[in-house]
Amino acid sequence: MAGDPKRALGKKIRELREANGASQEKLAELADLHRTYIGSVEGGERNVALENIVRLARALGTTPSKLLEEVR
């Protein structure tokens, strides 16, 4: 995982979403993104744009830097 930054970011987002008790649909709504996009981000299939990292961080109640801490 440490070798794949997309997977590391996706894992962190999924962990925070689940810790918040939110579904992918709810996170998508809060971040103003599509549910299928959230699924592909969590699956490590997307190269996430900075603007969307910021949206996701806000929706998860954290900062972009916290989302990226696990990315190596």
Along the chain (72 residues), what's the average pLDDT of each consecutive run of 10 residues?
A: 85 97 98 98 97 98 94 86
Any domain includes 52: yes
The number of distinct structural domains making up the chain is: 1
Q: What pLDDT is recorded for position 72?
A: 84
Any domain includes 58: yes
Any domain includes 50: yes
Residue 61 is part of which domain span?
5-67
Domain harbouring 43, CATH code:
1.10.260.40
Any domain includes 72: no
- H or E stretch at 52: helix 50-60
- Whole-prediction pTM value? 0.92
Type of residue numbered 39: G
Q: What pLDDT is recorded for position 1?
A: 43
Give DSSP secondary structure letters for 6-49. HHHHHHHHHHHHHHTT--HHHHHHHHT--HHHHHHHHTT-----
Of 1, 40, 72, nearest to 56 by C-alpha is 40
